[in-house]
Structure 1
Amino acid sequence: MSVDQRPRGGLWRHRDFRLLWAGQSVSDLGTAISGVVLPLVAVVYLDASAFEVAALAAIEWVPWLLIGLPAGVWVDRSRRRPLMLWCDLVRTLAIGSIPVAAAFDALHLPQLYLAAAATGVATVIFQVAYQAYLPTLIRTTELAEGNAKLQGSQTVAQVGGAGLGGLLVQLFRAPFALIADAASYAVSAAALFAIGEREPAGEPVERDLRREIAEGARFVRGDPLLRVMTIAPALANFFFTGFSGIVVLFLVRSVHLAPASVGVLMGGVSLGAVAGALLARPVGRWIGTSRAVWLGTLLTTPFGLLIPLTTRGAGLVFFVVGNVVIYIGILIYNVTISAFRQAYCPPHLLGRVVASMRFVLFGALPLGALTGGALASWLGIREAVWVLLAGNVLSGVVLATSPLRRMRDLPAGQTVERALSPAAR
């Protein structure tokens, strides 16, 4: 049955979307566990330095620089669901290798780096395919709802996963907590396998990798909206990932929290992301989707400057409030932009457009993580947090001075010039 022939009634009644949603929710829970456990393994179990911990975060994102652009071509040439399934299996084996090595007392930092690299490569391909796959599974008019549900469950998983990760580290030796993440990828693969609707075969294309990559990059570079939606979040990714790469170090060595407390605290601040996912559609309807993007980012990023004030006890309020408000802004932005891009871009180019944008967006992540580690080693951990979160404010400034400020809503099925015309404001 085609997308347009499906019965209406919301995505709650859409079996294949429910399978995708359930699989991703479980996978996101496992990923959130790893987000806390993996750096704790490095810090507590392997006594890694600040730069070594930051390098671990960077390695997970380096694949975006190495294969991010070709991944878009591979996705546009292929059926997306089988590609995603294979990526989940690779990630199961990569993360699963860590507790296996620990069981034989053979776990060393290079093992973490190798697992992070393999997981990063599979994640690049999976994420590009995932963004391109969703519009083939649901109607264009359902994309905002679908992205809100997926982003919402992802953030709920972050809340539970971060706290669960800290608890598992207390109950077991840190590496064995990663069994949960390996299992979650296996569940995601099983859910993808169970989806009933099959994608249509793509039209034959000219097999010219360089030309196909360039076509996607030109589309992004030539569109004023996609261009600013690449530059501004790249800045945010650089600075906020620099902070995220040392946040566990900050909480353990500067604020002096126990590992379990770190997990609970990081899970709690993810409530901001839950709120952002729930607010994205109502805020977009209320003030307009374009205003939700630029104004939301401009107003929320300065709250990050509360985080460096964090101390034990009552001083943890600064960490919670700063992170919660930032995550509200991030999720409003992500939900709104994901739905816009999927509806706005030509279907045959969507994989390459996603890859071109994420090549820049996620390519900034390892650079930011390494910068965060270097600043922490050079200036001190708390001082580095000040610098990185001050830099994060620049993303809102870029969006507020872009063509987005001249529109109430993002265009859907119309030219940018029409959206920017006085009548559309």
Structure 2
Amino acid sequence: MTAPTPDRVAWRRFQQLWSATATSNLADGMLMAATPLVALTLTREPVAITAITAIQYLPWLLLSIPMGTLADRADRILLLRIASAIRAIGVGLLAVGLATGHLHIAMLYGLAFLFGLAETLYDNTSSALVPSIVADHQLERANGRLQATYTVANNFVGPPLGGALFALAVATPFAFGAAGYAAAFLLMLLLPLTRRERAQQAGPTTSFTADLREGVRGFTGSPMLVALCVLFGIGNLVSSATYSLLSLTVVERLDATSATYGLVLSGGAVGAFLGGMFGDRIGTLTRPGTALLWTTLVSGLATASLGWTGNVMALSTLMALDGFAVMVQSVVGVSLRARLIPDHMLGRVTAVFRTLSTGASALGALAGGLLASALGLSWPFYVGGVALVMLAPVLFRWLGNARIVASASASGRAPAEVS
């Protein structure tokens, strides 16, 4: 019998991680629909509702860099197990509280922060793990599969299921979500712990603080990473400012039902799934800088159009277009980011990157709520979409194809790998 090749071994291990992540993302999707619906039973104030999203992203601003540093010092599989366990316990406790009638918006705020904390640990660790277990030429494929799975479970299957379970009983989607995270934890136990060798074995063991500072310097010393972070940060700010108001938009402006909200999210999930599945192929046909430009423009136009659409079908279609563009951008951008960072620093540098880019979502949620309260529900979509369209050409000057090739060459990658 022929021994498996290194590529097949690497991909088989990735598939194990992939299956565990899919289960966790299905739980994410159910709670994505259920949590705003619970909030709507308590208040219709836009700021109070968007505060849930802002609190969930707060750990990205406060704790992302320490979490990323931890991902470079501790066993990454072990950290993923811990994050899954935190989610299972937190959501399980909320399900019990809801089932017993102890329903208060403070519970949702507490869950949002706990969720954000676990997500910060999980995402920083998994972002560092994937490039270290797959071959370089498998990176876009792996990222595309993960993003597509995220979309199907987190948006396509999870939200309609969460909405249906919410209609059955308020606590039901949270009970199923807790079970999903528990299943992910059990699947993580099947993955062998990683015993990675530190790159600085010859020297003395460095302190946690020294590693953290090295991660910050690794990010600030790369103009390409900074420019890419600006692009992701603005995109996340706009998405958070608009998507955090979707439940209110569907229920109030379109006068639809709570079950329709889950179907609206599914529209965006269809486009995002296609973007995740075919993003790697598009990356081979279009140079990275060009792909980042057109996806930003398409996302901006779709977002602005969401503000004036008057029916559910049009809303779902526009979200599908936006989802496709954003997912292709994610596949291209995340793969580029991984190639610019050495493996032993992936956790720290990625954490600095995501502190700024993902942390912008907290500011976006608050800005969206304030803008909606002052001018109306449509205005966050108008302002966010126009901002993306106007900023795309400016960002392209810093993320042009020639600059990307030069940065990849400086990091030790051959230009052909990113052109």
- TM-score, structure 2 normalization: 0.91
Against the structure 1 CA distance between its residues 415 and 201, is the aligned structure 2 distance closer, same or farther, given a 3 Å change threshold?
Answer: closer
Hey, what does 2:409 align to over in structure 1? 414
Give the AA of the match of 1:7: T
| 2:38 pairs with 1:41 | yes
Please, which of 322, 327, 337 is the counterpart of residue 341 of structure 1? 337
Hey, what does 2:205 align to over in structure 1? 205
Q: Give the C-alpha shift of residue 156 in structure 1.
A: 1.3
| 2:9 pairs with 1:20 | no
The farther-off stretch of 367-376 and 384-393 is 384-393
Hey, what does 1:281 align to over in structure 2? 280
Hey, what does 2:221 align to over in structure 1? 222
- 2 CA distance for matches of 1:399 and 1:192? 39
Give matches, 1:24-103, under 5 Å.
24-44=21-41, 46-103=42-99
Please, which of 97, 103, 110 is the counterpart of residue 107 of structure 1? 103
Please, which of 349, 364, 371 is the counterpart of residue 360 of structure 2? 364
Give 3-state SS (helix, strand or coil) of 2:157's partner: helix
Hey, what does 1:309 align to over in structure 2? 308
Hey, what does 2:170 align to over in structure 1? 174
Give the AA of the match of 1:415: A
Give 3-state SS (helix, strand or coil) of 1:309's partner: coil
Give the AA of the match of 1:295: W
CA contact (8 A) 2:303 2:384 kept: no
- 2 CA distance for matches of 1:383 and 1:341? 33
Give the AA of the match of 2:156: V
Q: Give the C-alpha shift of residue 396 in structure 1.
A: 2.5
- 2 CA distance for matches of 1:229 and 1:403? 7
Give matches, 1:376-415, under 5 Å.
376-406=372-402, 414-415=409-410
Give the AA of the match of 1:83: L
Please, which of 155, 158, 165 is the counterpart of residue 151 of structure 2? 155
- 2 CA distance for matches of 1:197 and 1:73? 18
Stretches of structure 2 lacking an aligned partner (at least 5 in a row): none
CA contact (8 A) 2:227 2:395 kept: yes
Give 3-state SS (helix, strand or coil) of 1:19's partner: helix
Q: Give the C-alpha shift of residue 178 in structure 1.
A: 1.5
Q: Give the C-alpha shift of residue 177 in structure 1.
A: 1.2
The farther-off stretch of 315-324 and 268-277 is 315-324
Hey, what does 1:7 align to over in structure 2? 5
- 1 CA distance for matches of 2:391 and 2:30? 28
| 2:290 pairs with 1:291 | yes
Against the structure 1 CA distance between its residues 403 and 376, is the aligned structure 2 distance closer, same or farther, given a 3 Å change threshold?
Answer: closer
Q: Give the C-alpha shift of residue 8 in structure 1.
A: 5.4
Give 3-state SS (helix, strand or coil) of 1:278's partner: helix
Q: Give the C-alpha shift of residue 254 in structure 1.
A: 1.0
Q: Give the C-alpha shift of residue 198 in structure 1.
A: 3.3
> 1:48-99: CA deviations, max 9, x gaps?
5211110011111000111111112111111111011011101111111111
CA contact (8 A) 2:69 2:208 kept: no
Give 3-state SS (helix, strand or coil) of 2:194's partner: coil
Against the structure 1 CA distance between its residues 240 and 229, is the aligned structure 2 distance closer, same or farther, given a 3 Å change threshold?
Answer: same
Aligned residue pairs: how many? 411
Give the AA of the match of 1:244: Y
- 1 CA distance for matches of 2:390 and 2:313? 24
Against the structure 1 CA distance between its residues 321 and 243, is the aligned structure 2 distance closer, same or farther, given a 3 Å change threshold?
Answer: same
Q: Give the C-alpha shift of residue 356 in structure 1.
A: 0.6
Q: Give the C-alpha shift of residue 390 in structure 1.
A: 2.6
- 1 CA distance for matches of 2:157 and 2:62? 32
CA contact (8 A) 2:75 2:193 kept: no
CA contact (8 A) 2:341 2:411 kept: no
Hey, what does 2:161 align to over in structure 1? 164
Q: Give the C-alpha shift of residue 155 in structure 1.
A: 1.1
- 1 CA distance for matches of 2:412 and 2:19? 39
Q: Give the C-alpha shift of residue 10 in structure 1.
A: 5.2
- 2 CA distance for matches of 1:226 and 1:169? 41
Hey, what does 1:242 align to over in structure 2? 241
Q: Give the C-alpha shift of residue 294 in structure 1.
A: 2.4
Q: Give the C-alpha shift of residue 201 in structure 1.
A: 4.7
> 1:276-324: CA deviations, max 9, x gaps?
112211111112233222233234421222211222xxx3343123211
Give 3-state SS (helix, strand or coil) of 1:195's partner: coil
Matched-pair identity in %:
25
Hey, what does 1:189 align to over in structure 2? 185
Q: Give the C-alpha shift of residue 395 in structure 1.
A: 4.9
Hey, what does 2:320 align to over in structure 1? 324
CA contact (8 A) 2:140 2:335 kept: yes
- 1 CA distance for matches of 2:108 and 2:299? 34
Q: Give the C-alpha shift of residue 259 in structure 1.
A: 0.5
Give 3-state SS (helix, strand or coil) of 2:409's partner: coil
CA contact (8 A) 2:67 2:121 kept: yes
Give 3-state SS (helix, strand or coil) of 1:194's partner: coil
Hey, what does 2:267 align to over in structure 1? 268
Q: Give the C-alpha shift of residue 212 in structure 1.
A: 2.6
- 2 CA distance for matches of 1:88 and 1:257? 34
Hey, what does 1:252 align to over in structure 2? 251
Give the AA of the match of 2:273: V
> 1:173-227: CA deviations, max 9, x gaps?
2332122221221121111110136333545631141x43232222222212111
Give 3-state SS (helix, strand or coil) of 1:196's partner: coil
- 2 CA distance for matches of 1:162 and 1:278? 20
Hey, what does 2:113 align to over in structure 1? 117
Against the structure 1 CA distance between its residues 135 and 403, is the aligned structure 2 distance closer, same or farther, given a 3 Å change threshold?
Answer: closer
Against the structure 1 CA distance between its residues 385 and 295, is the aligned structure 2 distance closer, same or farther, given a 3 Å change threshold?
Answer: closer
Stretches of structure 1 lacking an aligned partner (at least 5 in a row): none
- 2 CA distance for matches of 1:303 and 1:410? 30
CA contact (8 A) 2:272 2:326 kept: yes
- 2 CA distance for matches of 1:278 and 1:95? 30
